[in-house]
Amino acid sequence: MENNTRNHVLAAVESQLPLNRIAYPAIPAFPKTVTDLLTAFEQRVADAGGEIFRPADAVAAQALLASQFPGASVICSVTPEIKGNRDIHAVQNPHELADVDVAVIRARFGVAENGMVWLTQEDLEVNALGFLSQHLVILLSPQSIVCDMYDAYLRVHLEDTAYGCFMMGPSATADIGAVLVHGAQGARSLSVYLL
């Protein structure tokens, strides 16, 4: 074992573990209160200031993106369904994404009870894409919506990714004068394309 501070700390913690292992408490099966997952998800996204769209296919989604953001000059898509004009694989420094108008990202799944989506480093390619872009378009399969956070955490595998986050709605704050402002510290809008 390498002689460094990390290993000293881990060894100290291990030396204080109880000799008799105690099983974790059983997690009860919480009753599900949401039955129509898609409707609940759509309502929670709207509550958070986001928008839901149902393009028929990838071609319709591309046309929807063009009509929704006609003034966008930099579109960075990390999905095969929608084309952008900024190649994420050419980005050497996350700061290069500061001029992205629209980012298009496919989420792993959504959560009906709160309208959040789960994104990983593999989905974002460069983590800053989800936070520096002016507008976010999230592609989500309607079949990939789970009921609540209990179900969501069963699908989160942090051992498989270096980074992951739940994201809900556009950036918002209302702590100054109780005035709601979107885009204060992140994306100004968030659209979910059910595709």
Predicted pLDDT at 1: 62
pLDDT of residue 89: 94
Q: Burial letters for 28-43: b for 16+ Cβ neighbours within 10 Å, e otherwise?
A: eeeeeebeebeebbbe
Alpha carbon of 147 to those of 37, 114, 158: distances in Å? 6, 9, 20
Mean pLDDT of the chain: 93
pLDDT tens across 20-41, in order?
888 889 888 888 888 899 999 9
Query: Exposed e or buried b for every residue in 95-110, given b needs 16+ CB within 10 A?
Result: ebbeebbbbbbbbbbb
pLDDT digits (tens, 9 = 90+) for 136-185: 999 999 999 999 999 999 999 989 999 999 999 898 888 777 787 887 78
d(CA 161, CA 113): 25
Mean pLDDT for the stretch of residues 89-104: 96
pLDDT of residue 5: 92
Kindly state the tokens that stand for 13: 């913690």
Residues facing residue 53 across a β-bridge: 193
The strands making up 145-146's β-sheet, listed across from edge to edge, are: 145-146, 109-111, 116-120, 164-167
Each as own residue / partner, the long-range contacts of residues 162-165 (CB below 8 Å, 24 or more positions apart, any chain) are 162/121, 163/120, 163/121, 163/124, 163/127, 164/118, 164/119, 164/120, 164/121, 165/118, 165/119, 165/130
**Domains of the chain as residue ranges with CATH:** 30-194 (3.40.50.10420)
Give the pairing of strands 116-120 and 189-194: unpaired
User: If you average pLDDT over residues 62-90, what whole number do you get?
Assistant: 97
Task: Return the H-helix or E-strand segment holding 189.
Answer: strand 189-194
What is the band of 65 on the pLDDT scale with cuts at 50, 70, 90? very high
